Structure 1
Amino acid sequence: MPIALHVYIAFVVTTLMIMSVPDASKMLILSRSASGGTFAGLFTLIGVKAAEAIQVILVSFGLSWLIVSYPYVFEVVTVLGAAYLIYLGIRRWRAADGKIKEPSGQGSDFLTGFTISIANPKTLIFLAALFPHFLNHTHPVDGQFVLLGTTFLLIATCLDLPLVLGGGLVERLIRSPRIEDILKRFNSGVLLTAGVFLMGLLVFR
């Protein structure tokens, strides 16, 4: 095994500690599950993990240098992603008021999860900074990247899946229209906050 067992265990522990910290993606998964049900949360989760998988692949192929060499590329992605999240947050808030139809569907939930994750270049920077510390440079690194990347995604998914199940349970147990309205507004608030936060990363960096 190119990566020593104690190094691999250290990677697992580090990833568990870091990925346990609440962030916008986790709040979105939880709030979407609670307001739209288990399947809504599940497709949001799949969108988030798809974006994380792409970021792992970018780091594995050494493309993280793009963020340093061509920062405007990620600035454009961040701006577009933030604008979409703000737009979606406003739409969901207005839908809670009954003024427009709430955006729904598995595709919408997937895209929302994907956007909130892919539009944040900080995740890419984090992965690029984390992985090299656990690589054994005396062996080919391709297989090591596959192992670390797969482990990272599995841990992240296992930590987020309970949010889907917990939020879905809340949605099934609480049928009060007032509670449902509060949950929908909370979901829209998460989207708006995430969008504003991403914009703030560019303005106050």
Structure 2
Amino acid sequence: MTLHTWWLFAVTVFLLSGTPGPNMLHALSRSVHVGLRRSLAAMGGCLTALFLALVVSAAGVGTLLAAEPRLFDVIRYAGAAYLIYLGIKAWRAPVHDAPAATGETLATPGLSLRQLYRGGFLIGISNPKLLLFAAAFFPQFINRHAPSAPQFVILIATFMISEMFWLLTYGIGGQGVARVISGPGMKRLFNRVTGTIFMGFGGLLLRLRA
């Protein structure tokens, strides 16, 4: 892999990672509800899911999913159902008259770090399209005349760093949102907007084809 090829990959991935999607919306929403520091656990879950998806794609699992549409559909339906469930949960979430003094809790006061991490992981792993995308995308930047393993390591590390940057950016942005939506009416509106977007992501996932 040449330096030019890596730069092309890095710029492409940076732009793709910054596009609003379930992971970024989850980072922003968690930051609003539980504060930036605790939302890092949710971001860690998203990053773990991304890492696993990239590794298994590099190992050829994405090709298996493409060859077995039924298996892909099972994963796709499960992921869509989870996103829709999150949307309904956010829509119906209760709000409080005033935020907690710690900066936490607009709607999810009792979540442990483990629960936050698990939620981020489930969000990140719920999109099987990532497996197919990586399986088709990575080979475009691999030099077939050089060992592939070191190249995959570089590409995966680049992808992870880009995703981490954008998750933190959205998380920091969530703190600005939290300061704006101080009243219960605005909190309820925020919950319903994010809930609608999550349900929309789930609906789009159902419409996509392998």
Smaller-chain TM-score bracket: 0.7 to 0.9
- Counterpart-to-counterpart distance in 2, 1:80 and 1:4: 39
Paired residue for 2:66?
Answer: 68
1:117-136 aligned within 5 A:
117-136=124-143
Q: Are 1:106 and 2:113 an aligned pair?
A: yes
Counterpart amino acid of residue 181 in structure 1: R
Shift in alpha-carbon separation, 1:79–1:102, aligned structure 2, 3 A: farther
Which deviates more, 53-62 or 103-112? Answer: 103-112
Question: 1:102 Cα shift?
Answer: 7.7
Percent identity over paired residues: 32
Distance in 1 of aligned mates of 2:116 and 2:80: 16
Q: Is 1:150 the counterpart of 2:150 in the alignment?
A: no
Q: How many matched pairs?
A: 200
Q: Distance between the aligned counterparts of 1:7 and 1:196, measured in 2?
A: 35
The 3-state SS of whatever aligns with 1:96 is coil
Stretches of structure 1 lacking an aligned partner (at least 5 in a row): none
2:199 aligns with one of 192, 195, 198: 192
Match of 1:91 among 72, 89, 92: 89
Whichever residue aligns with residue 52 of structure 2, its letter is I
Counterpart CA distance in 1 for 2:207 and 2:122 is 16
User: Alignment partner for residue 75 of structure 2, among 74, 77, 85?
Assistant: 77
Q: State the distance in 2 between where 1:184 and 1:35 align.
A: 10
1:19-38 matched pairs, under 5 angstroms: 19-38=17-36
Secondary structure of 2:93's counterpart equals helix
User: Against the structure 1 CA distance between its residues 78 and 106, is the aligned structure 2 distance closer, same or farther, given a 3 Å change threshold?
Assistant: farther
Higher deviation after alignment, 178-187 or 45-54: 178-187
Provide closer, same or farther for how the CA distance between residues 123 and 101 of structure 1 changes in structure 2, counting only shifts above 3 A. Answer: closer
Partner of 2:168: 161
Report if aligned partners of 1:43, 1:106 keep a CA contact under 8 Å in 2.
yes
Alignment gaps of 5+ in structure 2: 97-106
* Alpha-carbon distance in structure 1 between the residues aligned to 2:13 and 2:37: 26
Instruction: Tell me, yes or no, if the aligned pair for 2:95 and 2:184 is still in contact at 8 Å.
Output: no
State the alpha-carbon separation in 1 of the partners of residues 176 and 190 from structure 2: 13
1:120–1:155 CA distance, 2 compared to 1 (3 A): same
Deviates more, 1:141-150 or 1:16-25: 16-25
- Alpha-carbon offset, residue 152 of structure 1: 0.9
